[in-house]
Amino acid sequence: MPSFKLQSATEYLMTYSWAILIIALVVAALFAIGLFKPSVGTQCILPGGLACSSVFLSSNGLLTINLLQVTTAPINVTSYGCNKNNTVAHMYCPNSVCPAPPDNQVRMLIGANYTFNVECWSGGSAYNGVVGGAYTGYIIINYTDSNSGFPHTVEGQLALSVS
């Protein structure tokens, strides 16, 4: 009687090789469509009185933020900045004049919105990211209440995907 041990071992290896190959192809396809890549939702959290209508960060670090003003009085934005750490370093002023004189401040009435462009920083250098990468940091806005004349500093948190 002939021995079928070699044939049995070959069939065993072939069957499991095909199964492993199919599983590897499925896993590769799932990686290719981005199933295992965590997506970062867009979050811009500001304290009461100000809100982000939209926010967009390009790979060169330029943040475009549409700010909605819903405080109880008109405000004048004097400076704003974006940084990975919560500092006021690298603040920008409207029309590039710091500190912004009254003529250069952005006046926002109640319910108004305004689009700001600001370069985000990562420590001591300008932020450069890859498309699809994640950025978490802070947006800092300095403004003056038009009615009272009191200055305010607002710190918001950013978590968004680089586009």
Which CATH number belongs to the domain containing residue 91 in this structure?
2.60.40
Per-residue pLDDT tens over the stretch 55-95: 999 989 899 999 999 988 999 998 888 888 877 667 777 66
Nearest to 86 by CA among 115, 54, 121: 121
Nearest to 162 by CA among 56, 82, 65: 56
User: How far is it, in rounded angstroms, from Cα 82 to Cα 105?
Assistant: 18
Instruction: Verify that 98 and 129 share a domain, yes or no.
Output: yes
* Structural domain boundaries enclosing 7: 1-37
User: How far is it, in rounded angstroms, from Cα 75 to Cα 153?
Assistant: 12
> How far apart, in Å, are the Cα atoms of 37 and each of 74, 92, 132, 133, 143?
43, 34, 10, 10, 39
- pLDDT band for position 111 (cuts 50, 70, 90): very high
pLDDT given at position 12: 82
Mean pLDDT of 36-64: 85
Sole residue written with tokens 């304290």: 47
User: How far is it, in rounded angstroms, from Cα 118 to Cα 139?
Assistant: 10
Report the number of distinct structural domains present in the chain.
Answer: 2
Instruction: Verify that 7 and 65 share a domain, yes or no.
Output: no
Instruction: Verify that 116 and 80 share a domain, yes or no.
Output: yes
Instruction: Verify that 151 and 92 share a domain, yes or no.
Output: yes
Q: Are 108 and 54 in contact (CB under 8 A)?
A: no
pLDDT given at position 123: 74
Instruction: Verify that 101 and 140 share a domain, yes or no.
Output: yes
Instruction: Verify that 11 and 68 share a domain, yes or no.
Output: no
pLDDT given at position 85: 81
| Tokens encoding 15 | 């069957």
Instruction: Verify that 95 and 18 share a domain, yes or no.
Output: no
User: How far is it, in rounded angstroms, from Cα 91 to Cα 79?
Assistant: 6
Per-residue pLDDT tens over the stretch 8-36: 878 888 888 889 999 999 999 888 887 77
pLDDT given at position 40: 60
Percentage of the chain lying above the pLDDT 70 cut: 88
